[in-house]
Structure 1
Amino acid sequence: MSTIETKTKRTIIVGTRQSALALTQTGQVIEQLRDICKRHGFPYHFEIKKIVTKGDRILDVTLSKVGGKGLFVKEIEQALLDGEIDMAVHSMKDMPYELPAGLMNGAIPKRVDPRDCLVSKGGLSLSELPAGAKVGTSSLRRAAQLKAYRPDLQLESVRGNIDSRIRKLETEGFDAVVLAAAGLKRMDWEDKISAYIPADICIPAVGQGSLGIECRENDEAVRELLALLNDEVTALAVRAERSFLGTLNGGCQVPIGAYATVDRSGAEAVLELTGIVGTPDGSRLLKETQSGADPERLGISVAEALRERGADAILAQYGG
């Protein structure tokens, strides 16, 4: 009797935040899993369970001041550990490097656009914004890099879901807001993007544009299913970026970013990883780019190079 024939019917509960974006990307993952089940004969059904996280409850304080890691995942991870859900769909950039004992990343699906983008009045690009323009972002990483590129910009915190941040262009007098391009694309709102911000100006957050599908290590059925969803190229890039983050032990109090690309044209995949660490005001921005075949070693190497150039002092000073 084959493995497929011995599978028992099961309803798999999928945990997610309750924002429109979280529900949309969770729905997209479930559709991919349903297709996998159909092709491989797995008799599984899926249900969504919405979970409110600390990061969702506290919207009047900047992320860097809320403090702590895992602001958007801890409650979901607890539900996984308690057996209330069987897998969780996270934005990878929200996931801390260290996962709770007993949990693992079961899959990293194919990445969507990792870049940051601008939604602005009049469809202006970053270079076209007027001097002193008021730009909204909840990210120290974005703010520091934009200040380094355009010191004249007035950067102010803006929290909330994607549509509420875009509405603040009118309600709170912003000239532009900076968002992850992937979120807008997943929502089918690509037409709202005024301009993409190149990675050489603004290195993305670790894992930006990718999802992490978390599950219990001892749930063999779910692990087997998720392995078929995993995208090898995306996983290699994200592993390098997360190794960089883990080596620096960085949180959201310090601007940290990393972006890896994968070249598979040769006999083995070669990764190129760029990492940044900066001061919150953007007055100092350390950047390092290296290449290598081992994603974890590459992440460590880039992080150590930045440490030698002063990253440890920045992290110590600003509470990273």
Structure 2
Amino acid sequence: MLASCGSSSHGNPALSNIVIATRESRLALWQAEHVQRLLQERGHSVSLLGMTTLGDQILDRTLSKVGGKGLFVKELETALDDGRADIAVHSLKDVPMELPEGFVLACVLEREDPRDAFVSPKYATLDDLPQGAVVGTSSLRRMVLLRALRPDLRIEPLRGNLDTRLRKLDDGQYDGIILAAAGLKRLGLESRIRTAFEPETMLPAAGQGALGIEVRANRADLIEILAPLMHRPDALAVTSERAVSRAMGGSCSMPLAAHARWQVDGTLRIEAAWGDIDGAGVLVRAEAQGAVGDAAQAEALGDEAASLLRAAGAN
């Protein structure tokens, strides 16, 4: 659920200290420190509570086999619940579509580049890879999209934080890997991107490139403080994308993509794709477009895209 984040005409009250719960990877800390700076610029005192989640600890199995993306957020939510922290900053593509009762997304920040990136020390593009080359990813979405583009490739699991994945690539375990462009750019590693896939070629995951801030639903004080950080156009686009995943029962165990973009006429266009992880190149696509002025309309557009996917054979 996305909380209403309209700005208050009474100004934002200052708390004695806002504690941000964050994972301790370099990227997660960058994201938390980014929100910390934004809040400090508005006069708030902010500190970080670093935590290691179960998702960070289990690196020998794919997320779809050990409980899904919720493994990255559960410990942070526990810290919010027991009062050790006030807010949690998440990469939205890692946040389950249904939040536990009593929690809300207080706001969505302006989105970074939502595209996937091809990273390789030897090859400039995916097309340059030789027959049978090894590409690393543990995302089921990326697996089915890669198979549709290059069925000859060998796709091998790739887990770990961003630096770990790059190290495995540099050690020669893969000919290329697929990463989110946003993470590389946030850490000043844009030079590692050989090619950024356009969405038409490799459709991003719901919420990719966006940061979301989670709070307890009863923390109206925090929701008011966070309101100025909301980027409404991106929040509506992400709401539409997450609605597709929610309607499809989306999780790490479902190879599903959803990406929404605002059009020049002011409407929102959402594209979605579903693949059969056990099938040979089975890929179903759908798109929907319409006027979106609030979260309910954004969710309805996402539901429409999901219905079109199912009608085309996605399950």
TM-score (norm: length of structure 2): 0.91
**Distance (Å, rounded) in 2 between the aligned partners of 1:68 and 1:229:** 28
Q: Secondary structure at the match of 2:127?
A: coil
Which residue of structure 2 lines up, in the alignment, with residue 132 of structure 1?
Answer: 132
Q: CA deviation at 1:3?
A: 4.2
Match of 2:25 among 19, 30, 44: 19
Say what the alpha-carbon RMSD is for the aligned residues. Answer: 1.6
Where does residue 170 of structure 1 map in the other structure?
170
Compare 15-24 and 47-56 and name the one that shifted more: 47-56
**What is the rounded CA distance, in whole Å, between the counterparts of 1:14 and 1:198 in structure 2?**
33
The reply to whether residue 296 of structure 1 matches residue 299 of structure 2 is: yes
Distance 1:152 1:22 in 2: 34
Q: Would the aligned equivalents of 1:146 and 1:201 in 2 still touch at CA under 8 Å?
A: no
* Separation in structure 1 between the aligned mates of residue 145 and residue 11 of structure 2, nearest angstrom: 50
Report the equivalent of 2:97: 97
Q: Deviations over 1:69-90 (max 9, x none)?
A: 5121111112111111100000
For the residues of structure 2 that align with 1:129 and 1:49, how far apart are their CA atoms?
42
Counterpart secondary structure, 2:229: coil
Contact 1:236 1:262 in 2 (8 A): no
After TM superposition, the score normalised by the length of structure 1 is 0.90
Find out whether 1:310 has 2:308 as its counterpart. no
Aligned match of 1:41 = none
Conserved? CA contact 2:55–2:69, under 8 Å: no
1:271 is matched with: 268
4+ runs deviating over 3 angstroms:
2-5
Residue 258 of structure 1 aligns to a residue in which SS?
strand
Query: How many angstroms does 1:108 deviate by?
Result: 0.3
Cα distance, 1:178–1:186 mapped onto 2, change above 3 Å: same
Does the CA-based 8 Å contact 1:135-1:176 persist in structure 2? Answer: yes
Map of 1:61 onto structure 2: 61
2:26 partner amino acid:
A
Deviates more, 1:275-284 or 1:22-31: 275-284
1:305 Cα deviation from its structure 2 partner = 1.1
**Separation in 2 of the partners of 1:217 and 1:172?**
46
Match of 1:147 in 2: 147
- What's the secondary structure of 1:59's corresponding residue? coil
Report how far residue 4 of structure 1 moved.
4.7
Cα distance in structure 2, aligned partners of 1:106 and 1:9: 16
Alignment check: 8 A CA contact 2:63 2:69 kept: no
Contact kept in structure 1, 2:135 and 2:155, CA below 8 Å: yes
Conserved 8 A contact 2:151-2:281:
no
305 and 34 in structure 1: CA distance in 2 versus 1, 3 angstrom threshold: same
CA displacement 1:40-81 (0-9 Å, x = unmatched): xxxx21010012211111001112222345121111112111
Is 2:209 the counterpart of 1:209?
Answer: yes
1:317 aligned residue: none
Task: Say whether residues 1:183 and 2:183 are aligned partners.
Answer: yes
In 2, distance between residues paired with 1:8 and 1:175?
A: 51
Shift of 1:184: 0.3
The CA distance in 1 between the partners of 2:14 and 2:87, in whole Å, is: 18
Take 2:69 and 2:55, find their aligned partners in 1: how far apart are those partners? 10
- Structure 2 SS opposite 1:213: strand
Q: 1:225 to 1:128 in 2, by over 3 A?
A: same
Segments of structure 1 that go 5 or more residues without pairing to the other structure are 39-43, 313-320
Letter in 2 for 1:249: G
Partner-residue secondary structure (3-state), 2:173? coil
